[in-house]
């Protein structure tokens, strides 16, 4: 049976060093390899030209670079948004979206193949969950997009397919590797991690105090409405979620962002805004209103007019809220849609 290769992109510098020393190589080789992977972002050992052909062949035998291949690219005609559908080495597919803002390029990455969470407005969960992504596969989305687009990526949001806190260990490893000074070296102040509310993980993340922005997918102002659209609320309700958020802020001092997908007839009235304002009254926070994305399998709708109206309600109640800019509207940049359509054809 062929021996399983180690996913080299997921190794911390000290782990890589231990592996290279165990192969009888010098310590500085590990540094060179780490730099090829995380600074120069090469996708094969053959491209590591300052290593001997013999060492490259030995690396090839022992390790794999879990490379992602681009199956499909959609480029927006209205802004510089690019959506990538990546193929993985086991035949699965994931998506990333590269977006251009005045302050730089930000990429939205996936953390799982599919999702278990079952949020009713989301295309990523319809076909269920297949597996977690490794730290290397999450990093690979950034490195591949940077290579393909020629654009330097300076921000990351973990809001693509999957629930990041349901793949906690790999996501934390990814964050540590992304910010590693010997590697890509991104400041984690430029990284947002979203969660639909896996409460115990919020407490664990607070302990790590990584400097990331925590983004809570709230989407409803009370338990009845939240449970109707987000099954996770039956496991950890709004009160437990808010307590975890308060703890996170007390521990890290980082302002929390609350995401609110506005859905016509579900959560968009002045009364909903009042309940939401009361819920968030003692928070240092920001509410990001997102008109819900239309997906074929569901009848949920909303529009930007309703989103601006809801923003005004919140602003009048003293809550800092904005409507998320629509990027890549012409290429269906909503999470999970491209993968779903590709796999159904």
Active site residues: 95, 335
| Selected binder of ligand SF4 within 145, 172, 196, 338 (CB under 6 A) | 196
| Selected binder of ligand SF4 within 67, 106, 125, 337 (CB under 6 A) | 125
At what angle are helices 199-208 and 168-178 packed, to 10 degrees?
30
Please state the separation of Cα 87 from the chain's center in Å: 17
| Selected binder of ligand SF4 within 115, 153, 210, 333 (CB under 6 A) | 115
The two tokens of residue 118 are 């079952």
Q: Is the CB of 94 or the CB of 242 nearer to ligand SF4?
A: 94
- Any contact of residue 117 with ligand SF4 (CB under 6 A)? yes
344: left (phi over 0), alpha (psi -120 to 50) or beta: alpha
Q: Provide, rounded to whole angstroms, the least separation between the CB of residue 112 and ligand SF4.
A: 8
- Any contact of residue 124 with ligand SF4 (CB under 6 A)? yes
Q: Per CB under 6 A, which of residues 246..275 are in contact with ligand SF4?
A: none
What is the C-alpha to C-alpha distance for residues 31 and 52, in angstroms, rounded to an integer?
Answer: 15
Q: Provide, rounded to whole angstroms, the least separation between the CB of residue 91 and ligand SF4.
A: 20
Among 34-42, 54-62, 115-123, 251-259, which window interacts with ligand SF4 (CB under 6 A)? Answer: 115-123
Q: Is the CB of 59 or the CB of 108 nearer to ligand SF4?
A: 108
79: left (phi over 0), alpha (psi -120 to 50) or beta: beta
- Any contact of residue 109 with ligand SF4 (CB under 6 A)? no
What is the C-alpha to C-alpha distance for residues 256 and 11, in angstroms, rounded to an integer?
Answer: 30
Q: Between vectors from CA 225 to CA 224 and to CA 226, what angle results, nearest 5°? A: 95
Q: Which residues bind ligand SF4 (CB under 6 A)?
A: 115, 117-119, 122, 124-125, 161-163, 196, 217
């Amino acid at each position: 049976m062929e021996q399983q290769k180690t996913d080299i992109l997921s190794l911390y510098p000290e782990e890589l060093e231990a592996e290279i020393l165990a192969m009888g190589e010098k310590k500085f080789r590990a540094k060179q390899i780490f730099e090829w992977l995380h600074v120069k972002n090469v996708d094969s050992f053959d491209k590591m030209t300052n290593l001997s052909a013999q060492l490259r062949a030995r690396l090839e035998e022992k390790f794999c670079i879990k490379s992602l291949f681009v199956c499909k690219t959609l480029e927006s005609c209205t802004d510089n948004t690019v959506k990538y559908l990546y193929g993985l080495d086991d035949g699965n597919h994931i998506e990333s979206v590269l977006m251009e803002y005045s302050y730089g390029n930000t990429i939205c990455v996936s953390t799982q193949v599919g999702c278990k969470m079952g949020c009713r407005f989301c295309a990523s969960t319809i076909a269920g969950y297949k597996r977690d992504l490794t730290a290397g596969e999450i990093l690979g989305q950034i490195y591949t997009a940077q290579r393909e687009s020629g654009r330097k990526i300076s921000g990351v949001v973990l809001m693509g397919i999957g629930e990041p806190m349901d793949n906690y260990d790999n996501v934390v490893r990814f964050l540590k590797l992304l910010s590693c000074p010997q590697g890509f070296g991104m400041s984690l102040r430029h990284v947002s991690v979203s969660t639909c509310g896996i409460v115990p993980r919020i407490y664990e993340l607070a302990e790590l105090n990584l400097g990331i922005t925590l983004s809570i997918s709230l989407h409803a102002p009370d338990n009845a409405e939240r449970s109707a659209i987000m099954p996770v609320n039956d496991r950890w309700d709004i009160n437990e979620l808010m307590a975890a958020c308060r703890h996170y802020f007390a521990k890290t001092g980082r302002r929390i962002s609350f995401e609110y997908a506005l859905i016509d007839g579900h959560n968009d009235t002045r009364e909903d805004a009042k309940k939401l304002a009361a819920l968030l009254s003692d928070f240092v926070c920001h509410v990001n209103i997102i008109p819900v994305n239309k997906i074929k399998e569901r009848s949920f709708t909303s529009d930007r007019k309703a989103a601006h109206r809801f923003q005004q309600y919140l602003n009048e109640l003293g809550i800092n809220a904005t409507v998320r800019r629509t990027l890549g509207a012409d290429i269906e940049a909503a999470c999970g849609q491209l993968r779903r359509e590709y796999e159904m054809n």
